Amino acid sequence: SVAVRGAPGSGITLQVSGLDEDLPTITATTTPLPPATGWQQAPVTVRFRCADRTSGILSCPASSTVATAGAQQTITGTAVDRAGNTATQAVTLNIDTTPPDLAPSVDPAPNSRGWHKTPVTVRFAATDSLSGVAVVTPPVTVTAEGANRGVSGTATDRAGNSSTVSATVNID
């Protein structure tokens, strides 16, 4: 306890000095949350929350939205308390907004008039330069005769972006 005495009407100044050696805290959250694959397919907002139990927060980073596609993008924020202590938090983002490239191939190749006389297998080749291909339609064998038989295939990357293509087959 502290007791202060003085003559009535006289002024008094009290100064309390302390030492703040405690680091502030900072946490980062992302919206939306990353899926199990770790790849987002849309812009991501990073929010920082800061606290300091001793001198209080002087600065905390503002939220930021990252829309640029890329792997291992690091977003860093630093909290500063009123005593000048700092703490840093980083978040790593993987964003892929582009669907995979997908192309069909027909085996065997048709004759010069675009027709086959045997069953045909349609294969789908997919590539994705960022998150990678997660799923692609397996080969489809067409045995029924007919003109303009459409065969569709789909590829989906690890971020959830999809592409669909078709091949037309004529069998007699």
pLDDT (tens digit, 9 = 90+) per residue, 56-70?
999 999 999 999 999
> Environment class of residue 79 by beta-carbon count within 10 Å: exposed (0-12), middle (13-18) or buried (19+)?
buried
DSSP class of 55: S
If pLDDT is split at 50, 70 and 90, which confidence band does 15 have?
A: low
Q: CA 104 → CA 49, 154, 164, distances in Å?
A: 49, 10, 10
If pLDDT is split at 50, 70 and 90, which confidence band does 17 have?
A: low
Query: Does residue 18 register a pLDDT over 90?
Result: no
If pLDDT is split at 50, 70 and 90, which confidence band does 2 have?
A: low
Q: What's residue 128's pLDDT?
A: 98
Q: What's residue 152's pLDDT?
A: 98
Query: Does residue 14 register a pLDDT over 70?
Result: no
If pLDDT is split at 50, 70 and 90, which confidence band does 12 have?
A: confident
- Sheet with 140-142, edge to edge strand ranges: 101-107, 120-127, 140-142
Q: What is the largest CA-CA distance in the chain?
A: 116
Radius of gyration of the chain (CA): 32
Mean pLDDT of 39-53: 97
DSSP class of 52: -
Strand pairing report for 120-127 and 86-95: unpaired
Q: CA 74 → CA 33, 68, 109, distances in Å?
A: 16, 12, 48
